[in-house]
Amino acid sequence: MMVAPPLIFAALAVMFYVGMSREDPNQLPTALAGKEAPAVAVTPLGDKTPFTDAELRAGEVTLVNYWASWCAPCRVEHPNLEKLAAQGLTIYGVNYKDKPENALKFLAELGDPYAATGADAEGRMALNWGVYGVPETYVIDGNGVIVARHAGPVTQRVIDEMLMPAIERARGN
């Protein structure tokens, strides 16, 4: 009977060690890394042009960013997305479970970093992509393969330490 507590402790210690030994313990894993991006299934957001599967496989490294007007961290990351877009990076936006009028007001107020934007009002596309919540950003290589995923706001640190290295890998540099 006295063997159970030490065994339980040892099992928990191993679980904690394995969990903490991941590269970035704050980053949620994705089962889609190295696989083709799931189908794009967005509807138009106002008069914005939605993007398609073909655009994710057109030979250019892109970002796909899930966002919503009701999402405070989306406001935090927005200036950084604008900077990346100004540097020539193509970013496709997926407005997640949002009211179209609120989403369009958000973009009118903060600017529109997206080359194309579509709505995922029911969250079905997000479910297929494995989105936990917004914001989430995916680095897609020119063949439509997911190279990396970041859950949370895109900060300068995320750009420097995660996104830019993933973009360089996706470009084959």
Which residues is 151 bridged to in the sheet?
136
For the chain, the domain total comes to: 1
Q: Is 61 part of a structural domain of the chain?
A: yes
Predicted local confidence at residue 20, as pLDDT = 41
The verdict on residue 6 lying in a domain is no
Tell whether the model's pLDDT for residue 150 goes beyond 50: yes
Question: Looking at this protein, which amino acid is placed at residue 51?
Answer: F
The verdict on whether omega for the bond into residue 135 sits within 30 degrees of 0, i.e. cis, is yes
Residue 14 lies in a domain: no
Is residue 160 a part of any domain in this protein? Answer: yes
Q: For the whole model, what pTM was predicted?
A: 0.82
- Residue 121 forms part of a structural domain: yes
Can you tell me the distance from the alpha carbon of 101 to that of 43, in angstroms, rounded to the nearest whole number? 14
pLDDT at 7: 53
| Of 132, 168, 144, nearest in space to 29 by CA | 132
Residue 65 has pLDDT above 70, yes or no: yes
- The counts of H helices and E strands in the chain are 7, 6
Within a domain: residue 21?
A: no
Residue ranges making up the domain that contains 152: 30-172
CA distance 83 to 156: 10
Within-domain flag for 16: no
CATH assignment at residue 132 = 3.40.30.10
- Helix crossing, 72-86 with 100-110: angle to 10°? 50
Contacts for 75 with CB less than 8 Å, ≥ 6 apart: 106, 110
Residue 3's pLDDT band (cuts 50, 70, 90) = low
In a domain, 130, yes or no: yes
CB distance 100 to 76 below 8 Å: no
